[in-house]
Structure 1
Amino acid sequence: MTLKVLHTSDWHLGRSLYGQRRYEEFDAFLAWMLDTLREQQTDILLIAGDVFDTTAPSNRAMQQYYNFLRDAAHSGCQHVVIIGGNHDSPTFLNAPRQILKTLNVHVVGAKTDNPADEVLRLDDADGKPLALVCAVPYLRDRDIRSAEAGESIEDKEQKLLDGIRAHYQEVTETAERLRGELEQQFANDIPLIGMGHLWTAGGQVGEGVRELYVGSLAHVGTDIFPPTLDYVALGHLHIPQSVSGKAYIRYSGSPLPMGFGEARQQKTVCVLEFTGRKVEITQTDIPGFQRLRQISGNLSGLQAELQALLEDGISTWVEAIYTGEEIVPDLRDKLLEALADDEQQLITLLRVKNQRISVQTLKAQESDQTLDDLTPQDVFARCLDAHDVPEEQRPELLHLYQDVLRRVQEADSRAE
């Protein structure tokens, strides 16, 4: 008997792109996912974190989530497993889990006190085990590391890494014991699947990916995953990829491009076919639901590319990067002139970025930059520059700043 599993992650429901709402894209993706579950005759769907883009999702994003889970429960898919990511509110995900469990939707929003609570036995309609899943969610610093007065940055980093490794070991050992009992009882091999939402060393990064932890050990090695796991379904990185040459440890990637830099990237879901403990891994391409294009050049070049996009007759969101020498103060207006005949409003110029190459114009450009052009780290670096902070003091200050920033981003506004 073959067991079919789909692995996806990083939906980021509710995410916008430079102020442009993307609800229609998400509706189209979720409809495609339901069709895929039916066509592939999927037994188990794994969603490896970052279901939502924020800890306080909009009502519309919540409606999309719950409607999908309702429909998935009637698609023929026997189980859905969801873990929390760093963008998700753990308490929001966990709040309805007892109701969702009646639909065979299993949610682990945050680290549990008992490792056994992160081990899920997924049975078929006859009560026979299909698989065991180590549903390890995003592990927050405060969940796995206790702070001590006077400890160095290096000590903090090592304790964090040790805590992540120890938790995976505890959960997997618990699952291994259960697998041994079940295989003896049912006389068949049962696949053991790991899940996680973290950043492994060597992983390729897409857009919109936050640092999870502070320090050089933020990217963990694949050796934290015990070798008894038959497959490891990861989330957090938006580019689909295997890790360190190990085909069974994979990021599915995000289903939608998170920014213009991912516009030409093929998005996928991972399809797993288990025969006992042996797994065959393939990828299914996700169609594009909204065309994004990043164009660059001088003024005439940008105008020509916009005209060409308009002639395609396809709805397109555009980021235009100006690289010419000439200063064009009314650049956006000049570019919009190329779209004067766009009566159907097919082309949306979402972002115009001025990247003039002479030193003088770069300085002029800096005064026109907005927060959209800067990362939080860029803003902090400028603050340090403005206050003439000595170079030798900056690493410690940056470390403290990143720690505060992470705490703010992970604050669970829905906890109470």
Structure 2
Amino acid sequence: MRILHTSDWHLGQHFMGKSREAEHQAFLDWLITQANEKQVDALIIAGDIFDTGTPPSYARGLYSRFIVNLQNTCCRQLVVIGGNHDSVATLNESKELLACLNTFVVGGVTASPEDQVRVLNNSDDEPGTVICAIPFVRPRDVLESQAGESSEGKQQALQQAIADHYQTIYREAEKLAGQSLPIIATGHLTTVGGQLTESVREIYIGTLSAFPASAFPSADYIALGHLHRPQVVAGQEHIRYSGSPIPLSFDEAGADKQVTLVDFKDGKLSSIESVVIPEFRKLISIKGSLDDIDHQLNELTIDQNALNPWLEIEVTTDVYFHDLQSRVEQLVMDKESLSTCELLRVRKKREKAPAALTTIEQETLAELKVEEVFQQRLEHEEIAEDQIKKLTSAFYSVIDTLHDEQQKEKV
């Protein structure tokens, strides 16, 4: 039996004001083709189907059309679990209807453990594997808060509660699997040692930062979502993140995106294969001095047949430029070969920390004026020049207002 594992589609995402609809449509069309060509028996989406709990109508349309189109392939079984970005209610509202299209939806933790377990059939329409469909587990799903409990105590309690939930669902799966069927578990969470990117949102802040691989049940394969870089967990080949299908932040630019093919034979895991996803739109991040950036822009090669590339430029300098944004924009505009590129973000990074930072650490807030605190904080941030102007203007406007109010009180 062959399973295809994917996750973190984030349909409906807006990236710095830009829609990802064209990229997502290209990916879904590609995925339909792969499901057929690779003779996939079942497809698993391990959470974060949507980017928000209230996805735009076009994102819902992409999701619905994909499920319908999947019925025209050899892969007619789909498992959908909810992620931390997904709304349980939004996913579950269509679960009964989608069940008619061989789609098993588990938007959130269910009241009955058996509702999170399903037998998946192979190409001969015979039982091939059992799945424990475990979605993103919210603390309130498995844990009651205890008054006076320490932060460490809460973390340990949540970790144990999630581990217990896995074991409960796994025991239900064992009943269906018997001695012959392999078991697949899913999950949407951060594991210990997992590589995060800037687009990944921490999901257990203040309680559980990461879940240890040792706490998973002894499933034959564990299909995870939430981390956007494809990766093996704790050196255990059968526990994997498939990663997001498109780069969701500039720090994911240039990294291969993939889906994972998992084969079972004679009731056991037999092979795992990564299938690289084409780059539908190039995200380009360039860093350096203005001269370095000019040189790097000259070296760029753009595929004119692909979607318009999106560009981020980070200027490393200690020199203050009041017109840095326009300077960088002009550098890009001067390159005829980059006419299809869209510059989405310009950032400034200080070449070296100012000498004053050494002494700042020894100063207390009481020794600094509020204006000094603001300026020093600003120097630590990587903010575009136009944003610095707006923040500075807003800051001094607030200071002036407070000063006027204090003067009135004295009168």
Q: Deviations over 1:360-397 (max 9, x none)?
A: 89766568837xx9xxxxxxxxxxxxxxxxxxxxxxxx
Do structure 1's residue 196 and structure 2's residue 190 form an aligned pair?
Answer: no
How much has 1:217 moved relative to structure 2?
3.6
Residues 311 and 108 from structure 1, CA distance in 2 versus in 1: closer, same or farther, beyond 3 angstroms?
closer
- Is the CA contact (8 Å cut-off) linking 1:85 and 1:137 kept in structure 2? yes
Which among 309, 313, 320 is matched to residue 316 of structure 1?
A: 309
One-letter amino acid of the structure 2 residue matched with residue 268 of structure 1: Q
Which among 93, 105, 113 is matched to residue 103 of structure 2?
A: 105
Which among 347, 350, 355 is matched to residue 349 of structure 2?
A: 355
Q: 1:163 maps to what in 2?
A: 161
- Is the CA contact (8 Å cut-off) linking 2:231 and 2:242 kept in structure 1? yes
Query: Distance between the aligned counterparts of 1:294 and 1:369, measured in 2?
Result: 16
Residues 368 and 164 from structure 1, CA distance in 2 versus in 1: closer, same or farther, beyond 3 angstroms?
closer
Residues 362 and 33 from structure 1, CA distance in 2 versus in 1: closer, same or farther, beyond 3 angstroms?
farther
- Is the CA contact (8 Å cut-off) linking 1:354 and 1:365 kept in structure 2? no
Instruction: Tell which deviates more after alignment, 50-59 or 352-361.
Output: 352-361
- Is the CA contact (8 Å cut-off) linking 2:188 and 2:226 kept in structure 1? yes
Query: Distance between the aligned counterparts of 1:7 and 1:86, measured in 2?
Result: 18
Which among 14, 24, 31 is matched to residue 26 of structure 1?
A: 24
Q: How many residue pairs get matched?
A: 362
Which among 221, 241, 244 is matched to residue 254 of structure 1?
A: 244
How much has 1:329 moved relative to structure 2?
1.6
Which among 340, 356, 376 is matched to residue 346 of structure 1?
A: 340
The higher-RCO structure (CA 8 Å, 6+ apart) is 1
Which among 195, 198, 206 is matched to residue 207 of structure 1?
A: 198
Q: 1:7 maps to what in 2?
A: 5
How much has 1:311 moved relative to structure 2?
6.9
Residues 43 and 369 from structure 1, CA distance in 2 versus in 1: closer, same or farther, beyond 3 angstroms?
same
One-letter amino acid of the structure 1 residue matched with residue 343 of structure 2: L
One-letter amino acid of the structure 2 residue matched with residue 334 of structure 1: R
Q: 2:398 maps to what in 1?
A: none
- Is the CA contact (8 Å cut-off) linking 1:83 and 1:137 kept in structure 2? yes
How much has 1:224 moved relative to structure 2?
1.8
- Is the CA contact (8 Å cut-off) linking 1:355 and 1:365 kept in structure 2? no
Q: 1:244 maps to what in 2?
A: 234
Q: For 1:79-228, what aligned pairs fall within 5 Å after superposition?
A: 79-123=77-121, 128-180=126-178, 189-215=180-206, 217-227=208-218
- Is the CA contact (8 Å cut-off) linking 2:230 and 2:242 kept in structure 1? yes
How much has 1:353 moved relative to structure 2?
0.4
Do structure 1's residue 333 and structure 2's residue 326 form an aligned pair?
Answer: yes
Residues 331 and 312 from structure 1, CA distance in 2 versus in 1: closer, same or farther, beyond 3 angstroms?
farther
Residues 153 and 322 from structure 1, CA distance in 2 versus in 1: closer, same or farther, beyond 3 angstroms?
same
What is the RMSD computed on CA atoms of the aligned residues? 2.3
Do structure 1's residue 235 and structure 2's residue 229 form an aligned pair?
Answer: no
Query: Distance between the aligned counterparts of 1:144 and 1:311, measured in 2?
Result: 50
Residues 311 and 337 from structure 1, CA distance in 2 versus in 1: closer, same or farther, beyond 3 angstroms?
farther
How much has 1:206 moved relative to structure 2?
2.0
Q: Deviations over 1:40-89 (max 9, x none)?
A: 01100000000011111001111111111110122110310000000000
Q: Deviations over 1:226-272 (max 9, x none)?
A: 12x11000001111111111000111011111111111111111101
Query: Distance between the aligned counterparts of 1:364 and 1:287, measured in 2?
Result: 39
> What is the SS of the residue equivalent to 1:214?
coil
Query: Distance between the aligned counterparts of 1:155 and 1:367, measured in 2?
Result: 34
* 5+ long unaligned stretches in structure 2: 357-374, 388-411
How much has 1:207 moved relative to structure 2?
2.7
- Is the CA contact (8 Å cut-off) linking 2:36 and 2:74 kept in structure 1? yes
Q: Give TM-score scaled by structure 2 length.
A: 0.83
Query: Distance between the aligned counterparts of 2:123 and 2:19, measured in 1?
Result: 40
- Is the CA contact (8 Å cut-off) linking 1:309 and 1:316 kept in structure 2? no
Query: Distance between the aligned counterparts of 1:286 and 1:335, measured in 2?
Result: 31
Residues 22 and 265 from structure 1, CA distance in 2 versus in 1: closer, same or farther, beyond 3 angstroms?
same
> What is the SS of the residue equivalent to 1:288?
coil
Q: 1:413 maps to what in 2?
A: none
One-letter amino acid of the structure 2 residue matched with residue 321 of structure 1: E
> What is the SS of the residue equivalent to 2:300?
helix
Query: Distance between the aligned counterparts of 2:192 and 2:382, measured in 1?
Result: 36
Residues 158 and 341 from structure 1, CA distance in 2 versus in 1: closer, same or farther, beyond 3 angstroms?
closer
Which among 265, 268, 277 is matched to residue 258 of structure 2?
A: 268
Query: Distance between the aligned counterparts of 2:318 and 2:83, measured in 1?
Result: 44
* 5+ long unaligned stretches in structure 1: 184-188, 374-416
- Is the CA contact (8 Å cut-off) linking 1:49 and 1:236 kept in structure 2? yes
- Is the CA contact (8 Å cut-off) linking 1:200 and 1:221 kept in structure 2? yes
> What is the SS of the residue equivalent to 1:283?
strand
* Same amino acid, percent of matched pairs: 40
- Is the CA contact (8 Å cut-off) linking 1:237 and 1:251 kept in structure 2? yes
Q: Give TM-score scaled by structure 1 length.
A: 0.82
- Is the CA contact (8 Å cut-off) linking 1:118 and 1:135 kept in structure 2? yes
How much has 1:157 moved relative to structure 2?
1.4
How much has 1:324 moved relative to structure 2?
2.2
> What is the SS of the residue equivalent to 2:85?
coil
